[in-house]
Amino acid sequence: MKLSRFGEKFAGESGIVALMDDLGTALNENPDMIFMGGGNPGRVPGMEAVFGEKLEALLADPQQRHSLFGIYQSPQGDREFRREIARFLQQQFGWQLGEQNIAISNGSQAAFFLLFNMLAGEMPDGSKHSIHLPLAPEYIGYADTGLCEGFFSATRPAIELLDDRQFKYHVDFSQLQVGAEAAALCVSRPTNPTGNVLTDEEIAHLDSIARAQGIPLIIDGAYGQPFPEIVFTEARPHWNENTILALSLSKLGLPGVRTGILVAREELVSAFTNANTIASLACGTLGPLLTRSLFANGEIRRLAQQHVTPFYRERSQQAVGFCREHFGDLPWRVHKPEGAIFLWLWFEGLPISSQELYQRLKQRGVLVVPGHNFFVGLEDDWRHRQECLRVSYAMDSTTVEAGIAIIAEEVRRAYDGD
């Protein structure tokens, strides 16, 4: 098969594809693997019940059922759904926006692909622009989305050491240099993989840098505000005309439904809609029809706070407890879990690479994601990249504890020089 440049880049074995392949193969070969590697949300009974009821009501109404199965939505997304989201955001936070500021996509991952490539890459004047990640490590799913090489740049974080074996990354504003080649700043908040929640001050500072540079600040709220609200700390939702807020229904418990939501200035929404028409023709109907009424009365935020936030807060505390129990006196630290569904473990001075640790854990039946993959856009040989692991705690607590116990054994073996 002859492949184009596009084909070579996107059909080939890029880093993330190889990793996902490896995780998938391992799981297929041994279904009993302890799978702590994925970003799949946990099963939250309260949310499952609500979505189940909504789906049954949809199917019971012939008109609604026809809307669900038999009608193409507009490429910008179901109008009524966009209207309800805009009204909800206006009422909750006083943001000045309307349906023209909302675009729907088939999952936020697909939205990022279009959005990043619309803003960065080869520019009409022949120059090359990149997306800057002000705090690496960042979401692995950004890697490889660019149509050209060198698509991302990133800034190393400042590390604050905290009590109780915790630490927290901060944007290192003393090192953050946003040059003319930056097309946008992008952060996930809460951050995948670390569970960090950038402070309100950090967001305000990034916002002012982006404005001064005349570029947008992209906030990936897949785990954040105003839903699914997997946030365990005080944080203010942020949006203005210079912000592109990317939201998703996935971590509410609907990853199979593939609904992403962009909140942005009208000009960007129009441009995105055109690109989305070419790529997708139309958006799926299920997410909008299932959740529209939840936006209409602000219920979505109440449900998230009642069911989703406590579910993951409890899981995260439990998981940290298992770490304390099993890691004991090993030189371990965990990023302060402020949100999302992962623990980010740091083994300072680990004598083996994170990839080697990943392989050894795979042999022992535990799948995690080796940390070096998340330093998207960072080209240096910082040792820290090799000392971290991302571990999901979305599964039941018995599984999480079993996985952490094995990680402890393998890490101890590595420090012992075995």
By the criterion CB under 6 A, which residues form the site for ligand PLP? 39, 107-109, 139, 141, 188, 192, 220, 222, 248, 250, 255, 260
Please name the residue that has the structure tokens 């990133």.
154
Q: How far is the CB of 341 from ligand PLP (least distance, A)?
A: 9
**Cβ–Cβ < 8 Å for 358, 388:** no
Q: How far is the CB of 142 from ligand PLP (least distance, A)?
A: 8
In this complex, which beta carbon is closest to ligand PLP, that of residue 102 or of residue 352?
102
Please name the residue that has the structure tokens 């005080």.
234
Q: How far is the CB of 186 from ligand PLP (least distance, A)?
A: 10
Burial environment of residue 298 by CB neighbours within 10 A (0 to 12, 13 to 18, 19 or more): middle
Structure tokens at 229: 């609200």
Q: How far is the CB of 332 from ligand PLP (least distance, A)?
A: 24
Q: How far is the CB of 342 from ligand PLP (least distance, A)?
A: 9
Element holding 410 (H helix, E strand): helix 397-415
In this complex, which beta carbon is closest to ligand PLP, that of residue 250 or of residue 354?
250
Interstrand relation of 332-335 and 260-263 (parallel, antiparallel or unpaired):
unpaired
In this complex, which beta carbon is closest to ligand PLP, that of residue 194 or of residue 354?
194
In this complex, which beta carbon is closest to ligand PLP, that of residue 330 or of residue 340?
340
Three-class DSSP category at 3: coil
In this complex, which beta carbon is closest to ligand PLP, that of residue 369 or of residue 408?
369
8-state DSSP, 81:
H
**Cβ–Cβ < 8 Å for 339, 234:** no
Structure tokens at 232: 């365990």
Q: How far is the CB of 133 from ligand PLP (least distance, A)?
A: 12
Q: How far is the CB of 218 from ligand PLP (least distance, A)?
A: 11
In this complex, which beta carbon is closest to ligand PLP, that of residue 284 or of residue 410?
284
Cα–Cα distance, 264 to 70 (Å, whole number)? 29
Which residues lie below 8 Å from residue 379, measured CB to CB, with a gap of 6+?
Answer: none
**Cβ–Cβ < 8 Å for 85, 102:** yes
Cα–Cα distance, 217 to 276 (Å, whole number)? 21
**Cβ–Cβ < 8 Å for 196, 139:** no
Three-class DSSP category at 185: strand
In this complex, which beta carbon is closest to ligand PLP, that of residue 263 or of residue 406?
263
Burial environment of residue 283 by CB neighbours within 10 A (0 to 12, 13 to 18, 19 or more): buried
Cα–Cα distance, 82 to 88 (Å, whole number)? 10
In this complex, which beta carbon is closest to ligand PLP, that of residue 95 or of residue 112?
112
Q: How far is the CB of 1 from ligand PLP (least distance, A)?
A: 28
Cα–Cα distance, 194 to 200 (Å, whole number)? 17
b vs e for 137-159, b when ≥16 Cβ sit within 10 Å of the residue's Cβ?
A: bbbbbbbbbbeeeebbbbbbbee
Rounded to an integer, what is the distance from CA 381 to the centroid of its chain?
25
In this complex, which beta carbon is closest to ligand PLP, that of residue 107 or of residue 253?
107
Q: How far is the CB of 417 from ligand PLP (least distance, A)?
A: 35
Q: How far is the CB of 378 from ligand PLP (least distance, A)?
A: 17
In this complex, which beta carbon is closest to ligand PLP, that of residue 243 or of residue 250?
250
